[in-house]
């Protein structure tokens, strides 16, 4: 399998605070890779560094053979890298459909109706609510909308930042079901999660972050079975 | 009529805004030529046009971009004095008054845009209310700078000096006897030739509407509004946040400069203290009362609220008190659910685009 994203030895600082300490990992075509870890482990910081909002002092982020270190954040989307930000962040005053159309912003011109249809096929719930103002959607629907919006830019890699945050267990299950479906449809996904069990059960491979360092990595099944992970994240 | 129906709701509102302004201009012009307007009202026509442009341009920053600017009068001031200097120094070179007015407005807009750029570059990269603080300071700095600015013009060109010590006078500029003083420090610009007219004001208002409405309805405008609604979401779909903020802010500053130039050329004397914090707040009141993001609201609010203090002259000392009460009543009335409901029914319905599938 071809490696599409390669993060090599990145070090990120918030002022004097060393938040990411030499993190390296890879994502190959068609995989779900998950970064798990507790609060403050550096998961979101890593994602923000990949999408260009933060810069690493060392190392490199290579996406499809191109070094993203010099690419400004707003150009990263047109390179085929889409981020679903933490806490959904949809346009509350716009309708569902308008939100999706905004997702195709970097593609220019009118959004392709085929893209819209594809998103509506993945998320039939959104099709029912396409005229509804997004602020009146439920939390789970808003998460689906944020994911659908990211898909509108036809990403080669979809990065999800805590998609299960603040959702009821049944909805969390639904969201992970959707992630699995997206994966089956051929989307490559980088998933950042606190919900280690759910994330590892859908992921091909996982990396465990602790205070800015990768402490363990392996396939999803391996990590799920690993006693250390079980103890640290899954409660015994 | 069929064509009108086919237009989108936003296009209908824009169309009505243009028509309303044109109709108002024709009616007021007819009233003026018929002698139905008293002197004080006739004298207010050009300032009203200026303040309409100010309100519409501030609405671009506050309502469309969602950033608070407390120094819009500063940009007006930059435009006014640079416009006056341009118009006065070209008195011999350009014989036509209207041509000098156009040049002055263009120069005023250019200098205000430059000021907007200087303010915007560092501040618009930040998140939070920094723009409000910096523009507030900007307005005061510009006022003080112009307060100690001496400008004169003779056959050798422009002469300028900064009277920081307070000891310089216009004689220290070293002009030949044929030279004329244009800006005399704290006295401001005096002896300015009055070039502004109601017609020019109307054209500037129309031009402003064309620029602002086209910007708002364009791809850039939608990006600007996306940033206002949710900055993080806009960033995550690939909108260049700083660039679009700069576009909106500089356009807003340039239009304020154009309004300032027109304003400056409407009075034979003009001091920098006219463009103080109160003027910025006055324009902000027009924008907020007219409705954030509503262009036609800004136009009506600017016109009505500019005339109101004059119309309240009969209350003499209690004039500003009544003005404040009127502001409060307008706010209460426009927030009244019954009235809102009624107005909502008058408005054209939000048209749903036909589905492809």
Higher pLDDT, B314 or A98: A98
C-beta atoms of A113 and B356 within 8 A: yes
**Tokens coding A36:** 């798990």
**β-bridge mates for residue A8, sequence order:** A60
- The structural domains of chain A, with segments of one domain joined by +, span 1-80+156-236, 89-154
Q: How many CB atoms lie within 10 A of CB A9?
A: 13
The domain A1-80+156-236 is placed in CATH, from the list 3.20.20.140, 3.60.15.10, 3.40.50.300, 3.40.50.1170, at: 3.40.50.300
Q: For position B356, what pLDDT does the model report?
A: 38
Q: How confident is the model at residue B172 (pLDDT cuts 50, 70, 90)?
A: confident
Max CA distance (Å), chain A? 53
pTM for this prediction: 0.84
Q: How many Cβ atoms are within 10 Å of B212's Cβ, its own excluded?
A: 24
Task: Examine the pLDDT at B329 and tell me if it is beyond 70.
Answer: yes
pLDDT in tens, B12-25: 888 999 999 999 99
Does the structure show a pLDDT above 90 at B155? Answer: no
Neighboring chain B residues of A75 at a CB cutoff of 8 Å: 238
Two tokens, residue B87: 């118009």
Whether domain B45-296 has CATH 2.30.29: the reply is no
CA B167/CA B150 separation, integer angstroms: 12
- Considering all CA atoms of chain B, what is the largest pairwise distance in Å, rounded to the nearest integer? 79
Q: Which of A74, A77, A78, A111 to mutate to probe the B interface, most B CBs <10 Å?
A: A74
Tell me, yes or no, if A219 comes closer than 8 A to chain B by beta carbon.
Answer: no
Confidence band for B321, pLDDT divided at 50, 70 and 90 = confident
Question: Could you tell me the pLDDT band of residue B280, with boundaries at 50, 70 and 90?
Answer: very high
How many Å apart are CA B59 and CA B290, to the nearest integer? 9
Decide if pLDDT at B351 tops 70.
Answer: no
- Residues in B 169-228 with any Cβ partner in A closer than 8 A: 219, 222-223, 226
How much is the average pLDDT of B66-84? 95
Integer CA distances (angstroms), B297 to B137, B183, B235, B332, in order: 28, 36, 30, 16
Check residues A207 and A229 and name the one with the higher pLDDT: A207
List all residues of chain A from 50 to 109 with a beta carbon under 8 Å from chain B: 51, 53, 72-78, 82-85, 89-94, 102-103, 105-106, 108
- Interchain CB contacts (distance < 8 Å): A and B: 60
Strand partners, A160: A84, A191
pLDDT at B3: 56
In this complex, do B226 and A91 lie within 8 Å of one another by their Cβ atoms?
Answer: yes
Across the interface, do A106 and B230 touch by the CB < 8 Å criterion? no
Which residues on chain A are in Cβ contact (under 8 Å) with B221? none
pLDDT reading at B353 higher than 70 = no
Between CA B82 and CA A20 the distance in angstroms is 52
Q: How far does the CA of residue A36 sit from the closest CA of chain B (Å)?
A: 22
Kindly indicate the confidence band of residue A236, based on its pLDDT and cuts at 50, 70 and 90.
Answer: very low
CB contact under 8 A, B238 and A106: yes
How many angstroms separate the first and last alpha carbons of chain B? 28
Judge whether residue B348 has pLDDT over 70.
Answer: no
Q: What is the mean pLDDT of residues A109-119?
A: 84
Smallest Cα distance from B352 to chain A, Å: 9
User: Which tokens hold the place of B121?
Assistant: 């570059």
Is A106 within 8 Å of B237 when comparing Cβ atoms? yes
Measure in Å the smallest separation between the Cα of B329 and chain A Cα atoms.
28
Q: With beta carbons less than 8 A apart as the criterion, state whether B78 and B111 touch.
A: yes
For the ranges A154-163, B3-12, B174-183, B299-308, which has the lowest average pLDDT?
Answer: B3-12
Please report the pLDDT score of residue B241 as a whole number.
Answer: 92
Supply the pLDDT for residue B5.
59
pLDDT cut 70: percent of chain A above it: 97
Q: How far apart are CA A5 and CA A45, in angstroms?
A: 16
ipTM above 0.90, yes or no: no
Contacts of residue A236, defined as CB under 8 A and 6 or more positions apart, other chains included, come to: A230
Sign (positive or negative) of CA dihedral B118, B124, B129, B130: negative
Q: A93 and B229: CB-CB below 8 Å?
A: yes
Q: Please tell me the predicted confidence (pLDDT) of residue B322.
A: 85
Q: What is the mean pLDDT of chain B?
A: 88
Name the residue among A76, A89, A117 with its Cβ closest to that of B233.
A89
Contact A92 B236 (CB under 8 A): no
Terminal C-alpha separation, chain A: 35
Residue B306, CA distances (Å) to A105, B73, B272 in order? 41, 15, 20
How many angstroms separate the Cα of B325 from the Cα of each of A44, B299, B320, B322, B332? 51, 21, 9, 5, 11
Interface mutation vs chain B, best among A80, A102, A112, A146, most B CBs within 10 Å: A102
Residue B74's nearest CA partner among B124, B41, B17, B118 is B118
Q: Is the pLDDT of residue B242 over 80?
A: yes
Do B124 and B249 touch, CB atoms closer than 8 A? Answer: yes
Percent helix, strand and coil across chain A, each rounded to 5?
A: 40, 30, 30
Q: How far is A93 from chain B (nearest CA, A)?
A: 7
């Amino acid at each position: 399998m071809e490696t599409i994203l390669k993060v090599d030895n990145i070090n990120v600082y918030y002022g004097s605070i060393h938040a990411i300490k030499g993190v390296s990992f890879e994502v190959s075509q068609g995989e779900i890779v998950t970064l798990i870890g507790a609060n403050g482990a550096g998961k979101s910081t890593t994602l923000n560094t990949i999408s260009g909002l933060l810069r690493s002092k060392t190392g490199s982020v290579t996406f499809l053979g191109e070094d993203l270190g010099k690419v400004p954040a707003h150009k990263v989307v047109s390179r085929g890298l889409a981020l679903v930000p933490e806490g959904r962040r949809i346009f509350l005053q716009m309708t569902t459909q308008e939100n999706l159309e905004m997702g195709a912003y970097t593609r220019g011109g009118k959004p392709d109706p085929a893209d819209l249809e594809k998103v509506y096929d993945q998320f039939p719930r959104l099709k029912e609510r396409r005229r509804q103002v997004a602020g009146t959607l439920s939390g789970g629907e808003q998460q689906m909308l944020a994911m659908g919006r990211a898909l509108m830019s036809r990403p080669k890699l979809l990065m999800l930042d805590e998609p299960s945050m603040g959702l009821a267990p049944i909805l969390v299950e639904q969201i992970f079901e959707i992630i699995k479906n997206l994966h089956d449809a051929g989307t490559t996904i980088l998933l950042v999660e606190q919900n280690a069990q759910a994330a590892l059960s859908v992921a091909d491979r996982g990396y465990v972050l602790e205070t800015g360092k990768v402490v363990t990595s392996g396939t999803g099944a391996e990590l799920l079975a690993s006693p250390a992970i079980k103890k640290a994240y899954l409660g015994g | 009529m069929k064509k009108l129906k086919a237009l989108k709701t936003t296009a209908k509102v824009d169309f009505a805004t243009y028509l309303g302004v044109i109709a108002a201009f024709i009616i007021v012009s007819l009233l003026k030529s018929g002698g139905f307007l008293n002197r004080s009202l006739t004298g207010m026509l050009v300032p009203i046009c200026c303040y309409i442009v100010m309100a519409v341009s501030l609405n671009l920053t506050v309502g469309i971009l969602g950033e608070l600017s407390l120094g819009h009068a500063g940009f007006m001031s930059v435009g006014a004095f640079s416009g006056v200097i341009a118009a006065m120094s070209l008195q011999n070179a350009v014989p036509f008054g209207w041509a000098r007015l156009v040049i002055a407005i263009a120069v005023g807009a250019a200098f205000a845009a430059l000021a907007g750029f200087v303010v915007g570059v560092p501040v618009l990269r930040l998140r939070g209310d920094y723009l409000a603080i910096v523009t507030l300071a900007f307005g005061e700095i510009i006022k003080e700078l112009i307060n100690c600015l001496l400008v004169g013009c003779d056959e050798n060109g422009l002469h300028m000096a900064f009277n920081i010590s307070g000891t310089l006078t216009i004689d220290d500029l070293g002009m030949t006897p044929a030279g004329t003083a244009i800006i005399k420090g704290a006295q401001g610009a005096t002896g300015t030739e009055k070039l502004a007219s109601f017609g020019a004001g109307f054209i500037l208002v129309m031009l402003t509407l064309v620029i602002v409405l086209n910007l708002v309805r364009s791809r850039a405008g939608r990006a600007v509004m996306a940033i206002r609604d949710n900055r993080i979401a806009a960033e995550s779909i690939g909108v260049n946040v700083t660039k679009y903020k700069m576009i909106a802010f500089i356009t807003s500053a340039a239009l304020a400069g154009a309004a300032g130039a027109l304003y400056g050329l409407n009075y034979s004397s003009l001091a920098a203290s006219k463009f103080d914090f109160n003027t910025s707040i006055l324009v902000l009141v027009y924008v907020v009362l007219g409705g954030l993001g509503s262009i036609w609201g800004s136009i009506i609010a600017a016109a009505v609220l500019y005339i109101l203090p004059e119309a309240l002259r009969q209350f003499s000392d209690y004039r500003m008190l009544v003005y404040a009460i009127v502001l409060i009543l307008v706010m209460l009335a426009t927030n009244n659910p019954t009235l809102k409901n009624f107005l909502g029914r008058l408005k054209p319905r939000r048209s749903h685009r036909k589905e492809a599938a």
